[in-house]
Structures are given as C-alpha cells and as structure tokens.
Structure 1
C-alpha cells in the first residue's frame, strides 16, 4: 500500500525562500559543474585516443626494430621517448602470441586482443585504453598500443570533488545572503503583522501602516486597510443602529405597554375609551415599524451593504413617484416640470433614489399649506449633475436650523405632522451615496425648497 509522503517545509516565509534559493543554487551549480567535468573527461579521453593513434603510426614504421629489441627493459627507446614513463605499453602480437612488449609494463597480465580497433579494458582494477591495428596487409601480425587511464579517472574524481565543494560553498553563501536580504525585504510584512496584532475588537479607528514598496506588499496593505475600513464602517453602523433603536423605541414601546396594561386591568372599559387606546396602540405600532424600516435602510447605507449599481431613468422614476404621492395626499397639488430632452444617465440604486424622492414629496405635502397645499417638482441638470427640486408653500425652516434637521431624529420646533425624524437623514444619505448632496433653501413663493443633487454618468459617444 503506497502512501504519499510530504516533505516538511519550513514554517516561516523567510525560511522557505532561503531553502528554495539554496536548493536552486545547489542544483544549478552541481549541474553546471558536472557538465564541465563531463566535457573535460571527454576531451581527455579524446586526447588519449589521438595519442594512441599517433604512437601506433610511429611504431608501425619500424616494427622489425621492436621485434629485434624484444622485451628489453631499457629506460630509453628509439621512438622519441614516447613510451618511457608515459604509462603506456606497445605490444606486437603474432598468431595469438605476444612476441614483443615495450613501455611501462602493468603489474597484471593483459589478455591478448581478439579484434582490431579502439576498446577499453578493465584488468586488475585498472582501466586501459587499447588500440589494435594490423602491421601489414596479411593480418598475421598486429600492433597493440595501450594507455593507462588511471590519471584521467583520478582527474575526473578530483574535478567532481571540486564541483561538490563549490556547490556546497555556493549554497552556504547564497543561503546566508538570501537570509540577510529577506530580512530587509520582509520588514514591510513584519510591520503589517505587528499592526494586525495591535488591532483590538473595541478599537474602531486603528489602521495598518501604509507601505509604499515593494508593490505587492503595498497592494496588500491597501487591500487590508480597505477591508478594515469596511469592517469598521459596518461596526459603527451596527452600534449606531443599536443605540438609535434603543433610544427611539423606548417611548413608543412604553406607550404600548401602558395601553396594554390599561386594557388588561380594565376589562369593562367603556367602548369609546377602549377604541381610543387601540387607536393609540395602532399609531405607536406604525411609528415603530416606520422607525425600524428607516433605521434598517440607514444602517445598510452606512455599512455600504448595497446591491450593484445600475442605470436609473431619473425622469421616469420621478414621474412615477409623483403619481403615487398624489394618491397618498389627495389634498395637495403636485406641479411637475421635466424637460423634454433626454436626461443624462445616472448610475446608482433605484430603490434608494425612489425612497429619497418619496420622502421629499411626502414632507412637502405634510408641511405645506393646509388643506390645499401646492408642491412644485422640477428636474434639471448641468454637466456632471442632476437636480431634483421639491418646493412647498408652508412656513419653511429657519436658515439656522436647516443643517440640524438633516440629522437623524431631528424635527422642527413645532412639528405639524407625526414622524420619526429620519426622512431628511435618509435623503441626505442617498445623496451622498450617489455623489451629491441635499440642499435646503427658501422656496420662490415662500416655504422650503429641498434640492436633491446626484452625479450623472457621462454619455457614451455615438457609434
């Protein structure tokens, strides 16, 4: 049964880089060294073959003299010193017998050759290179020249050891250099790790240190800071939602509890008082529902938990919103002014824009003149922006209070209609999410003029 064996890897990135570079260096140096050793060995053996051929030609010119001298052990010869001290042997073979032999005689007997040509012989633990050629055309006599290959093999062994030593030394030097270099390179990552370790759940403002290089670490730092920003925004939105909900729901829930307790303690309460209590409970229920819906929308906007952007047809959205507002407020008169030419495109969230427009239309009808108020609605645009202006004919809002009423749960000093105080906050949030703003000013005929500005998308060039 076979098992997949996984080699243990170092845990730290620095160690992994060092080990990887060291392994690569030892492989490259060893491979290059072995190739060089093989080339040198091949060259040496080629030189031996060439020398054997030259010696054979030299000896063949005067083979009779080799026979006449026999097996003399002179320190010199008449062949130019080719044999003495050269670790080579020349033999003359006739009819399967060695008739003459000159040179550095081996300590073991070399067998008589059976065929002509180049060959390598292994005798007594030694290797010899042999060349056998006929002396004349009859083939009865053959000349054998041998060269001891021990020096060449020793040179190859020495070269291999040198390559191994160089590979080990290069690996150690490379590993040490990479270990020191990666210490410098890894400093930005170490800073990021230290920054992450300092972040605590209760800390909603701490960010990771900014890193400018290397580019990959800088991108990682920016991505992590972006993620932290989103998490912190979501956390703040959640905390704000919890605090707002707890603060604003306390009063309606208290009223509901008091009315329920009154109905429970007085089962024989007159029908008029009972109905009055039920109506008050229904009002508080609607208030709680509207408050929770508004807070939920605000929380999603704060946390940027929004669907993908899409193209919004703002004139069509405005026309539909006014049509539904007329049904909700039949006593108010809505006068709409939308230019006939095509409006610039808007990239955004149709649900959020519709909610903002509905709040502006409802506020204008509720805070305008009673019972037959007038609401003027207009759509205009300039390069890069679209403006939805909603004007009423009510008392308006003092200039020093206009910024304050945009805050959550903010209401006028003398509110003329029930509400949660989230309407203009929702409009302000949607304006900011769409690259614009909410502006409050005096209406031309008195009252309040609320202008919702959003950013438009540049028109695509015609094909």
Structure 2
C-alpha cells in the first residue's frame, strides 16, 4: 500500500470514528433534551385541564386524533373510575393511580406517565418511550448525511494534499533514477520539506561513499590489469624458451624458470583475490573471541620451512596470552603476509622474530627482521596497492602490506612501521584492543 493510501485510510478511519462518536453523542443529547421537553409538555397538558372538568364540557362531534409515535395520550377518569375522555380512541391505557411522573410497561411497551388528581377527576397523560427514542434516532440519522458528505470532501482534500506533499519524494526518486555509476553527484535540495532533507543528505552521503568505492574498484581493476600484464607476458616468453630448449640440454633450467614464473603469477592472483574478498565480504565476517598468540604460533610454524629454504632464522621472542575479538581467517592472512614479507625481503642468513606483548588494555604484535628496512618517507606509501620499495633481494606483488592494513582496519587495530632497534631492519607493529 502506498504512503498516500495509508494516510488516506488512517485519517479517514479516524474521522469516521470521530463521526460515529459525534452521532452517538448527538443521539444521547437529543434524547435527554426531548425527555425534558416532552415531560414539560405532559405536565402542561395535565395542568391545562380544569379542576371541575366533566364529560359534558366536550363537543358532541369531537374528531378522532391520529396517533403518531411521539403523541401524548390524554385520559380523564371521573370519581366513579369511568373514562370520561380519551384523546386517542385507538389506544386506551388502563387507569393508574401514582401521582406525578412514572414509567410503566404495558403490553410489551414502555410508557412514561404523568398523573394529576383533582377532587373530581384523575387526569392521566401518557407517552411512549420508544416513540421518544425513535425521534432521537431520526435526529441523529439526519446529522449522519452531512457527516458522510464531510468525510467525502475530506477524503478528496486529503488525497490531493498528500499527493502534493509527496511530490518532493517523486522528484527525489526521479533524480535517483537519473544517477549512473559515472554520475553520482549531489541531489537537489531546493524546495524540499524539512522532513525530506535528512533523507536527501543520507542519500548524498551514500552516493559519495559509493562513488569512492567505484573509483577504488576501477583503480584496482586498472592496476591489477597492469600488474598481470607483465607476469603473463613473462610466462609466454618462458613457455617459448622451454619449447626452444627441448633437446638442447637446457630443459631443466627453462622449466625451473617457468615454474618460478607460474609461482609468482599464482601468488599475485591469490593476493588479488584476497583483496577482492576483503573488500566484498570482510565487514560481514563474524568476529569471535580469539587467542592471538595461538594464531601467531600456528602461522610461524607453517612458514618455518619456507624461511629455511631462504636460510632465514624465523622464530618467536615472546608470546603473551591475551584475547581479542576478530576473524580467525583474516588474522591468519594478516600474520602470514607480515611474516612472509619479512622473510621475503630479508637477505639470506638473516633473522625474523615474532613478538606478542599483552598489557591491561592492548595487545601488541611485532614482526622484526634484519633486512634493509623501509625509508621513513616511504612507510606510508607502502600501504598503497602495488607500491614496491626498490629492494633487490625480492620481488613481491605490492599487495601484502595493503592487505595487512585492510585487515587491521576491519579489526579497529593500528598499524605502525619503524626501524627494529635490535635487528636493525623493519619493525611492523599492530596494536589490538583487548577483548573484555
């Protein structure tokens, strides 16, 4: 159901309920007023009869009165209990004796009586209570017709006014429909009601974020295409070299180069897919209570064989226990990239140490190496995708530290790069908030 129809339904429902209450109140008020008026009328009729009234005072050819539901019936009895006069011959009530006003039930109908006694007569005036109620109902029903006309007019006015008020939403939806991925400018806010402006502001903020995300995605795709072009071309050349070396005795060397190229390309593709997964679903990955030192121990043990092939002394200096809230999968990625980078860029025979220090509020993860380090003016740029320091010892994809930064942001952790005071290489520090 549209907003217009909902407003129309609820407003008209409220007006209809108020109208029904008005009709009921009108009926009750009319009934009370009619009761007072008819009671005064009955007492005046009885008082108008002379004290010495007798049947001889009436004309011989008195016309019979037609009875309506609210008519008062006048009856006069003489001293002998004989009915000497009745205003309506078709309705003859029995003689009652209680003076003043009273209510009786006669032949299934309720009647209001007023009785006046004189020395010579008993004057009885009666009126049907159902007749009184019927008059009150008729008055209330007559007021129902203007009420229905009022509801009809109000319905048309509400339909028109709500439609006019919702034109700003219609214009806003039309503006949104014109937006494309290449055109995500701010929405127009002129002539907008105060209630619509917060929605427009929120949509502008969302469109701005979407634009930033799309620009980042475009840049990522462009950079990825550029980065993949070189290793793919290298693989083609190495494949041709393998073909040319068949039968020449250089097959082993050519195949080794081809395997290395495939490995580098596979690593790059794996890093690209990891970045894509972190951007698309990293925010929705559930966080649980984890022991960071256990994850660090597992990752370190997994990478020791790789470090041994490069003759790197990989080990742990200190692993304090402590809980943090995070994604186990993402923390494995973070630690693997940090340690892999340290081993990759450390010269043969070097050293890489993993340290976890726990304090009351924070848990500090540190990866130190004896490599060449990163100049101070480049320590912020290395978190950019595909940015590489010119280090001759290794060639990476330029995505490792960008992934580390992204995972740290998902865990609201702080990443710092500096010089290792003990090993004189690079020290990567990540500060996590301790779980309550």
What CA distance in whole angstroms lies between the structure 2 residues aligned with 1:245 and 1:17?
A: 53
Which of 249, 253, 261 pairs up with 1:284? 261
Query: Contact between 1:130 and 1:144, CA under 8 Å: does it hold in 2?
Result: no
What CA distance in whole angstroms lies between the structure 2 residues aligned with 1:39 and 1:418?
A: 96
Give 1:28 shift.
Answer: 1.0
Which of 138, 153, 161 pairs up with 2:142? 161
Aligned equivalent of 2:235: 256
Aligned equivalent of 1:199: 179
- Give the SS at the match of 2:416: strand
What CA distance in whole angstroms lies between the structure 1 residues aligned with 2:372 and 2:132?
A: 114
Q: Is 1:300 paired with 2:277?
A: yes
Change (3 A) 1:395 1:23: closer
What CA distance in whole angstroms lies between the structure 2 residues aligned with 1:206 and 1:442?
A: 45
Query: Contact between 1:389 and 1:450, CA under 8 Å: does it hold in 2?
Result: yes
Higher mean C-alpha displacement, 170-179 vs 374-383: 170-179
Aligned CA-pair RMSD: 4.8
Query: Contact between 2:350 and 2:369, CA under 8 Å: does it hold in 1?
Result: yes
Aligned equivalent of 1:422: 399
Query: Contact between 2:4 and 2:162, CA under 8 Å: does it hold in 1?
Result: no
> Deviation per CA, 1:303-338, whole angstroms, max 9, x where unpaired?
353411222312222223222232321222235332
Aligned equivalent of 1:82: none
Change (3 A) 1:224 1:384: farther
Which of 305, 315, 333 pairs up with 2:313? 333
- Give the SS at the match of 2:183: coil
Give 1:32 shift.
Answer: 1.8
Give 1:293 shift.
Answer: 1.4
Normalised by the length of structure 2, the TM-score is 0.73
Q: Is 1:394 paired with 2:394?
A: no
Query: Contact between 2:34 and 2:136, CA under 8 Å: does it hold in 1?
Result: no
Give 1:47 shift.
Answer: 5.1
Normalised by the length of structure 1, the TM-score is 0.70
What CA distance in whole angstroms lies between the structure 1 residues aligned with 2:362 and 2:133?
A: 88
How many residues get paired?
A: 414
Give 1:423 shift.
Answer: 1.6
Change (3 A) 1:430 1:148: closer
- Give the SS at the match of 1:338: strand
Change (3 A) 1:418 1:55: same
Aligned equivalent of 2:90: 110
What CA distance in whole angstroms lies between the structure 2 residues aligned with 1:208 and 1:301?
A: 34
Query: Contact between 1:71 and 1:100, CA under 8 Å: does it hold in 2?
Result: no
- Give the SS at the match of 2:397: coil
- Give the SS at the match of 2:402: helix
> Deviation per CA, 1:313-367, whole angstroms, max 9, x where unpaired?
1222222322223232122223533265x54x32222222222222222222232
Matches within 5 A, 1:42-191: 42-45=32-35, 48=38, 52=42, 65-71=53-59, 88=72, 90-92=74-76, 99-101=84-86, 110-113=90-93, 145=125, 157-158=138-139, 160-162=141-143, 164-165=145-146, 168-169=149-150, 172=153, 176=157, 180=161, 189=169
